[in-house]
Structure 1
Amino acid sequence: MQNVTCSVEALEEMVDTLWYVRLKPELPVDFLPGQYLLVVMADDDKRPFSIANTMNDEGVLEMHIGATPDNTYAMQVLKRMQDQGQIEVQLPAGKAHLREGSPHPVILIAGGTGFAYTRSILQQMIVDGLRQPVFLYWGVRFADQLYADEEMKTWAAEHSEFTYVPVVQNNDESWQGRSGLVHDAIMSDFVSLSDYDVYIAGRFEMAGVAREAFKEKGINPEQLFGDAYEFI
């Protein structure tokens, strides 16, 4: 992996406790859609964060960071970026990257800021021309955490092969969309998952539950991708 210092071009709170970060590496970097970077806090302290975009001419790296005051893991990273205006990262990391060339339709599953991972993959597929159907299921606890809802609705309107399904766990009367757990929505919508490439990012608990549930739908383990599965 490559170590590179990045200047912080943007650090903005998108919604409460969710931050958009754009980094400009001092040297060209290379990564695959769906891979992640490690923020180097110390030689023995490297913190993983998804990359929310794909390779581009500007050479920037985008991140979506969830950070609450009691989440020192992420807050310390944001504070260093704010105080120093730069950060050292190591990349690329992760095996759950887009399998370009696969003929299978794709299901992308995001929990919370795991959306960043799925956005990188989706963006690359759109650049490549969306040669197969793609479904994005984005699960959040509350509707106001769908910070890229309008962007995804726009992409879905522009690309007939792309279907966007937001799922809110704790809904109220103002929410008119799907409710409950995101993996349950997929279980309801698909008779079989045997012919799909499935990419998932979110809390380890969610990834584990989804893996077990998807076995009932005939998921091919070799077509289920998630960096969480390296650890659970």
Structure 2
Amino acid sequence: MSSQDERRTATVTEIAAPTTDVRVVRMRPKEPLRFQAGQYVRLWFDGLPARDYSLGNRPGEAALEFHIRITAESAVGCYVAEGLRVGEAVGVDGPYGDAFLRREHRGPLLAVAGGTGVVPIQSIVTTALESGMQQQIHLYWGAYSAADLYAESRFRDLAARHRNLHVECSVAVPDSEHRKGYVSEVVAADFSSVTGFKAYVAGPPAMVSATQDVLLARGLKAGDLHADPFVPGDHHSRTVSP
């Protein structure tokens, strides 16, 4: 695409701050965006470098949802924290990515997230549940501390309504309510075999790699592993095609 005018645009409708370094931004596109749960889009904020962000909403919902990590190294993140306003137009391109929900799968589903990698996992899990998938769904989310598990209550509420959803959250900084350890270690402790599973993994590259190793060693077929490593920073930030 050669200009901002040729891109799809969306209008910012809500900006929330669940933690000091995460902003949840919701936007309403001028035209409906068709995508699969787990995919991502490319966003342009006010002339800044393009960034890839996963969609946290379900396909078909009116508002697009993004969770944006705020870091000093990212001009985009700093702008979202300090300059972005409701009503602003944002350029949107996509969707992209192959790490999307396979609705035809009938075996168990394992969704593993690290940090804000929870965004596509949220879309995958909520879409699976709302579309009536009945198999066992295991959601694992690892973060630095309990404060970073900002969407945990939402997942707990989902699990209370859907008996086939099981939620495990872990933290690097121990507390009285969560398991301690890297999320890949927690998954390794809980599963001796994942043969027949379909797995979705999203988060920092090291976390994704460690989780892939755990799952493949426990019998997961390579074709049943859908991963989406993400590198913080500006411009196109995917390390592989997710």
Q: So what's the TM-score if we normalise by structure 1? A: 0.90
> For 1:57-82, what per-residue CA distance to the aligned partner results, in whole angstroms no more than 9, with x for missing partners?
5x210111111344334223555633
Partner of 2:127: 124
Partner of 1:212: 213
Query: How far apart, in 2, do the equivalents of 1:176 and 1:222 lie?
Result: 35
> For 1:167-209, what per-residue CA distance to the aligned partner results, in whole angstroms no more than 9, with x for missing partners?
111114xx32211010111111111112111101000111112
> For 1:110-157, what per-residue CA distance to the aligned partner results, in whole angstroms no more than 9, with x for missing partners?
101111110000111111113210000000001111111111111111
Find the partner of 2:102 among 83, 99, 102.
99
Asked if residue 21 in structure 1 is aligned to residue 22 in structure 2, the reply is no
Q: CA deviation at 1:84?
A: 7.0
Number of equivalences: 229
State the secondary structure of the residue aligned to 2:125.
helix
State the secondary structure of the residue aligned to 2:110.
strand
Amino acid aligned to 2:69:
G
Q: CA deviation at 1:90?
A: 0.6
Partner of 1:32: 36
Cα pair 1:81 1:87 within 8 Å, conserved: no
Asked if residue 226 in structure 1 is aligned to residue 227 in structure 2, the reply is yes
Cα pair 2:117 2:203 within 8 Å, conserved: yes
Amino acid aligned to 2:28:
K
State the secondary structure of the residue aligned to 1:205.
helix
From the superposition, tell whether residues 210 and 224 of structure 1 become closer, same or farther in structure 2 (CA, over 3 Å): same
Q: CA deviation at 1:218?
A: 1.6
Query: How far apart, in 2, do the equivalents of 1:79 and 1:147 lie?
Result: 20
Q: CA deviation at 1:210?
A: 1.6
Partner of 1:133: 136
Query: How far apart, in 1, do the equivalents of 2:10 and 2:92 lie?
Result: 7
Cα pair 1:130 1:161 within 8 Å, conserved: no
Partner of 1:3: 7
Query: How far apart, in 1, do the equivalents of 2:48 and 2:76 lie?
Result: 14
Cα pair 2:99 2:226 within 8 Å, conserved: yes
Partner of 1:192: 193
Cα pair 2:109 2:138 within 8 Å, conserved: yes
Query: How far apart, in 2, do the equivalents of 1:83 and 1:177 lie?
Result: 35
Q: So what's the TM-score if we normalise by structure 2? A: 0.87
> For 1:210-229, what per-residue CA distance to the aligned partner results, in whole angstroms no more than 9, with x for missing partners?
21232221221100001337
State the secondary structure of the residue aligned to 2:84.
helix
State the secondary structure of the residue aligned to 2:85.
helix
Query: How far apart, in 2, do the equivalents of 1:6 and 1:231 lie?
Result: 24
Query: How far apart, in 1, do the equivalents of 2:151 and 2:46 lie?
Result: 32
From the superposition, tell whether residues 44 and 22 of structure 1 become closer, same or farther in structure 2 (CA, over 3 Å): closer
Asked if residue 54 in structure 1 is aligned to residue 55 in structure 2, the reply is no
Partner of 1:183: 184
From the superposition, tell whether residues 6 and 78 of structure 1 become closer, same or farther in structure 2 (CA, over 3 Å): farther
State the secondary structure of the residue aligned to 1:82.
coil
Q: CA deviation at 1:159?
A: 0.6
From the superposition, tell whether residues 47 and 199 of structure 1 become closer, same or farther in structure 2 (CA, over 3 Å): same
From the superposition, tell whether residues 42 and 19 of structure 1 become closer, same or farther in structure 2 (CA, over 3 Å): closer
Query: How far apart, in 2, do the equivalents of 1:104 and 1:25 lie?
Result: 35
CA RMSD, 1 decimal: 2.3
State the secondary structure of the residue aligned to 2:122.
helix
